A and B are shown apart, each in its own frame.
Chain A
Amino acid sequence: MTDMNATSLDVTRDHYLALTRQRRLYGGLMLLVFVLLLASGFGIANERNAGGFLPGLPQIFDFPAEVVQEAWEKRANMPDHLANAFPALIETINIAAIATLTGGFGAVVLSLLSTRGLAPWPRLIPVFRRIMDLMRAIPEIVTALVLIYVLGGGPVPAAIAIALHTIGALGKLFSEVNENADLKPLEGLASVGATWFQRMVLALLPQVAPNWFSYALLRFEINIRASAILGFVGAGGIGYELKNAISWGQGKFDEAAAVFILLFLSIVFFDQLSSVVRNHLTHGSKKGVSQ
Chain B
Amino acid sequence: MLDVKSLTKRFGSNAAVDNVSFTIDRPMMIGIIGRSGAGKSTFLRIMNRLTDASDGELCFEGRNVLTLTGKDKRDWQSDCAMIFQQFNLVPRMDVVSNVLHGTLGRHSTLTTMFNLYPEAEIHKAIDILDRLGIAEHAAKRAEALSGGQQQRVAIARALMQDPKVILADEPIASLDPMNAQTVMEALRRIHDEDGRMVIANLHTLDTARRYCDRIIGMRDGRVVFDGTPEQLTTGVARDIYGAGADFSEAATSTEIRDHDAVVTEEIRAAEVAL
Interfacial residues, chain A to chain B (CB-CB below 8 A): 8-9, 12-13, 15-17, 19-20, 23-24, 27, 290-291
Q: For B115, list chain A residues within 8 Å (CB).
A: 20, 23-24, 27
**Knowing A9-B135, A27-B114, A291-B16 touch, does A16 contact B122 (C-beta < 8 A)?**
yes
Pick the contact of B126 from A13, A24, A27, A291 — CB < 8 Å?
Answer: A13
Q: For A8, list chain B residues within 8 Å (CB).
A: 135-136
In the assembled complex, 19 residue pairs joining A and B whose CB atoms fall closer than 8 Å, in A order, are: A8-B135, A8-B136, A9-B130, A12-B126, A12-B136, A12-B138, A13-B123, A15-B138, A16-B96, A16-B138, A17-B119, A17-B122, A20-B122, A23-B115, A24-B114, A24-B116, A291-B11, A291-B16, A291-B41
How many whole Å from A255's CB to the nearest CB in chain B? 49
How many whole Å from B50's CB to the nearest CB in chain A? 13
Q: For A24, list chain B residues within 8 Å (CB).
A: 114-116
How many whole Å from A250's CB to the nearest CB in chain B? 52
Q: For B136, list chain A residues within 8 Å (CB).
A: 8, 12
Which bracket fits the contact residues of B? 10 to 19
Q: For A9, list chain B residues within 8 Å (CB).
A: 126, 130, 135
The majority secondary structure among interface residues of chain B is helix
Name which residue of chain B comes closest to A19, CB basis. Answer: B139
B25-70: which have CB < 8 Å to A? Answer: 37, 41-42
CA gap between A291 and B46 in the complex, in Å: 13
Q: 0/1 per residue, B1-33, Cβ < 8 Å to A? A: 000000000010000100000000000000000
Best-buried of A19, A23, A291 by chain B (most CB within 10 Å): A291
How many whole Å from B32's CB to the nearest CB in chain A? 15
How many whole Å from B85's CB to the nearest CB in chain A? 13
Q: For A20, list chain B residues within 8 Å (CB).
A: 115, 122
> Is the CB–CB distance between A16 and B41 below 8 Å?
no
How many whole Å from A145's CB to the nearest CB in chain B? 45
CA gap between A15 and B135 in the complex, in Å: 12
> Is the CB–CB distance between B123 and A290 below 8 Å?
no
CA gap between A189 and B104 in the complex, in Å: 44
Q: For A23, list chain B residues within 8 Å (CB).
A: 115
Q: For A15, list chain B residues within 8 Å (CB).
A: 138-139
CA gap between A71 and B126 in the complex, in Å: 68
Q: For B122, list chain A residues within 8 Å (CB).
A: 16-17, 20
Q: For A16, list chain B residues within 8 Å (CB).
A: 96, 122, 126, 138-139
How many whole Å from B127's CB to the nearest CB in chain A? 8
CA gap between A8 and B138 in the complex, in Å: 12
CA gap between A37 and B16 in the complex, in Å: 56
The 6 A-B residue pairs whose C-beta atoms are closest, nearest first, are A16-B138, A12-B138, A12-B135, A16-B139, A13-B126, A9-B130
CA gap between A9 and B131 in the complex, in Å: 11
Name which residue of chain B comes closest to A27, CB basis. Answer: B114
CA gap between A12 and B137 in the complex, in Å: 8
**Knowing A13-B126, A23-B115 touch, does A291 contact B139 (C-beta < 8 A)?**
no
Q: 0/1 per residue, B119-134, Cβ < 8 Å to A? A: 1001100100010000
Name which residue of chain B comes closest to A6, CB basis. Answer: B130
How many whole Å from A3's CB to the nearest CB in chain B? 14
Name which residue of chain B comes closest to A28, CB basis. Answer: B114
Q: For A12, list chain B residues within 8 Å (CB).
A: 126, 135-136, 138-139
CA gap between A27 and B42 in the complex, in Å: 41
Q: 0/1 per residue, B86-117, Cβ < 8 Å to A? A: 00000000001000000000000000001110
CA gap between A13 and B138 in the complex, in Å: 8
